[in-house]
Structure 1
Amino acid sequence: MAGFTSSWPAEAPCSGQVRLRAFEDRDVDMVMGLATDSHVPTIGSLPFRATHREALDDIARQRGRQAEGKGFSFCVADRSDDTALGGIGLWLTAIEQGRTTGGYGVAPSARARRVATQALDALTAFAWTLPPVHRIELYFEPWNLASIRTAETAGFTREGLLRSHQEIAGRRPAAASRAGPRECAAPRSGAMRSAHRAPLRSGAPLRVRTGCSRRRSPRPSRS
Structure 2
Amino acid sequence: MSPSTTHTTPRRGRPGYDRATLIAECVDLFNRHGYDATSMGMLAAHLGISKSAIYHHVDSKEAILGHALDDALAALEAALDDVASSGGPAGSQVEAAIRGGLGVVVEKMPEVTLLLRLRGNSEVEREAMERRRSVTRRLGQMIEAAQAEGSVRTDVTPRNLARLALGMMNSIVDWYSPDGADPGHTSVEEMVAAVTGVVMGGLRG
Could you tell me the TM-score, scaled by structure 1's length? 0.27
Does 1 or 2 have the higher relative contact order (CA < 8 Å, sep 6+)? 2
Could you tell me the TM-score, scaled by structure 2's length? 0.29
Structure with greater Cα Rg: 2
Structure that is richer in helix per residue: 2
Structure that is richer in strand per residue: 1
